[in-house]
Amino acid sequence: KAGVTQTPRYLIKTRGQQVTLSCSPISGHRSVSWYQQTPGQGLQFLFEYFSETQRNKGNFPGRFSGRQFSNSRSEMNVSTLELGDSALYLCASSLVYHTDTQYFGPGTRLTVL
């Protein structure tokens, strides 16, 4: 089976812009989770989607949003970018539950200037 794919792999934006990241889970996986990883804060959970519904949410402001499509593919959006949003954004899929084994994509490196 193909692994989790994320696009784009690298992105450079300026403050105030918005960005959309895409994630395609492993075929058959219905849960998709997003994480933000920074040197200072480590790996932080953003949200989880299952059957097109947000099932879990971390402690991030409303500027961070996401959605899941009927084929389980997911997108996350960050509006009004801030310098502190520069990070590696990781997507992971699992069979059913968020606490099942997570299969991670390679990540999208976002740099906000």
Partner 1 sequence: SQQGEEDPQALSIQEGENATMNCSYKTSINNLQWYRQNSGRGLVHLILIRSNEREKHSGRLRVTLDTSKKSSSLLITASRAADTASYFCATGGEAQKLVFGQGTRLTINP
Which residues of this protein are in contact with partner 1, per CB under 8 A?
Answer: 4, 33, 35, 42-43, 45, 55-56, 88, 90, 92, 97-99, 101-107, 109
Write down the least CB distance from residue 16 to partner 1, Å: 26
Largest CA distance in the chain: 38
CB of 24 within 8 A of CB of 68? Answer: no
Write down the least CB distance from residue 101 to partner 1, Å: 5
Among residues 66 and 105, whose Cβ is nearest to partner 1? 105
Q: What angle do CA 82, 16, 44 make, to 5 degrees?
A: 30
